Amino acid sequence: MTAYLDHAATTPMLPVAVAAMTEQLAQVGNASSLHRTGRASRRVVEESRERIATAIGARPSEILFTSGGTESDNLAVKGTYWARRDADPARTRLVVSAVEHHAVLDCVEFLVRHDGAKVTWVEPTSEGFVEPGALRRAIEEDPGSVALASVMWANNEVGTVQDIRSLAEVAHEHGIPFHTDAVQAVGHIPVDFAASGADLLSVTAHKLGGPIGVGALVARRDVRLVPLSHGGGQERQLRSGTLDTPAIRGFAEALVQATETLEPEARRLTALRDDLLERAIGLGLGIRPGGFWAPGDASRRLPGNAHLLIEGCDGDSLLYLLDAAGVSCSTGSACQAGVPQPSHVLLAMGLTESDARGALRLTLGHPSAPSDVDAVIDALPGAVERARRARRATS
């Protein structure tokens, strides 16, 4: 039996979401149609929009449905950049944290390569925090040139949770819109869009127990965006395309349950996370945690994120060895031209390439149990020994 510890990649759908989506799949109706079946579908969409908005402290009119976090990030970054640059040709700079998900990083790099954008990367601390002072210094290099500032709410690799309100305030001091990728945060830690001060927020359903293929960009009504796609003019003329009513309904059900059970679930996962980290460190294998970690703390590190740095190993080797032992997890590495590259997040936090290569991300979710932690601890010694032997043989 496999111990699944890759919930940050995707987590199983909650039963309430499966039931709601399955029921809706049996119904016909395009939410843009004006006849009875179309209006019935539209009612489901709008009720779901209201429930999602309530769950994350937003207004229903601020919820723009998308296909997920990647599309939401692209619409936020490209859409804001183009709108701001068109209004003021001097606004060609993006100020972005160096620890973003590739959905933001690659979007920024596209604009640099193809659209004349410039970027200032904001470096984090050694624990992965983006400090307001660092963001302020980056902006104040030339405030009038900045189109957008973007810092993710919670890091997908090391689980560090940022002080989004303080960061948004820095951006607003200079009249700059602020975007946050909250894909890893929503449904796992308290997220209140209105209270955060952010202008744009990205969320996806499949990280919190909803279906794959649906998400949202939460956008304040006064934010100007240029759409990425054109067609029927759905979603405030910003995201054309037939709305996926069954997926949207499943998204709403999952998010409501996740937020209603957030506090007890965060306590449960924090206890499992701390047990995993303490026992892994206690194996005497030279394992240390990546990012910030204080036992019992779920406000500055995601409750279910256990990130391990294992000296003398390649993360990819560890991943396959653990997989063979029945443990599913992840690394932070990326593959470029067939060659594994160390995590840009860890390098930005100041780790050497050698240390960054020996990273494992083990993430817990709503089905996780103490037996999953036991499985990891049982499998680690053998996997680490074999991975170290393999690295020595190739070095």
Distance CA 353, CA 189 (A): 31
Answer yes or no: do 247 and 326 share one domain.
no
Residue 235 has φ and ψ, to the nearest 5°, of 55, 65
Last residue of a domain, one of 259, 276, 303: 259
pLDDT score, position 334:
55
> Mind giving me the DSSP string for 154-188?
B-TTT-BBP-HHHHHHHHHHTT--EEEE-TTTBTT
Distance CA 58, CA 177 (A): 17
Answer yes or no: do 315 and 209 share one domain.
no
The count of domains in the chain is: 2
Asked whether 368 and 269 are in contact (CB, 8 A), the reply is yes
Distance CA 52, CA 73 (A): 18
Strands (E), the chain: 3-4, 63-66, 93-97, 118-122, 146-150, 178-181, 200-204, 215-219, 287-289, 305-310, 327-328, 334-336, 339-341, 359-363
Residue 267 falls within a domain, yes or no? yes
Q: Which residues pair with 148 in a beta bridge?
A: 94
Last residue of a domain, one of 232, 259, 286: 259
Q: Which residues pair with 69 in a beta bridge?
A: none
- 232-287 tens-digit pLDDT: 999 999 999 999 999 999 999 999 999 999 999 999 999 999 999 999 999 999 99
Answer yes or no: do 351 and 227 share one domain.
no
Answer yes or no: do 84 and 69 share one domain.
yes
Closest alpha carbon to 10 in 200, 158, 154, 213? 213
Answer yes or no: do 178 and 216 share one domain.
yes
Residue 6 falls within a domain, yes or no? no
353 is written with which tokens?
């390439």
Distance CA 305, CA 269 (A): 9
CATH of the domain at 210: 3.40.640.10
Answer yes or no: do 233 and 288 share one domain.
no
Residue type, 228: L
Query: By three-state DSSP, how is residue 249 classified?
Result: helix
Answer yes or no: do 19 and 148 share one domain.
yes
Residue 2 falls within a domain, yes or no? no
CATH of the domain at 341: 3.90.1150.10
| Catalytic (active site) residue 329 | no
Residue 254 has φ and ψ, to the nearest 5°, of -65, -45
Residue 246 has φ and ψ, to the nearest 5°, of -60, -40
Distance CA 207, CA 186 (A): 8
Which residue in 107, 313, 329, 335 is the catalytic one?
335
Residue 7 falls within a domain, yes or no? no
Q: Which residues of the chain have pLDDT under 70?
A: 333-339, 395
236 is written with which tokens?
């405030």
pLDDT score, position 333:
57
* pTM score of the predicted model: 0.96
Answer yes or no: do 195 and 94 share one domain.
yes
Quote the domain boundaries for residue 289: 262-394
Residue 349 falls within a domain, yes or no? yes
Residue 234 falls within a domain, yes or no? yes
Measure Cα distances from 343 to 47, 131, 158, 227, 366 in Å.
40, 21, 11, 31, 27
Residue 91 falls within a domain, yes or no? yes
- 334-393 tens-digit pLDDT: 544 345 788 999 999 999 999 999 999 999 999 999 999 999 999 999 999 999 998 888
Give the H or E element holding residue 95: strand 93-97
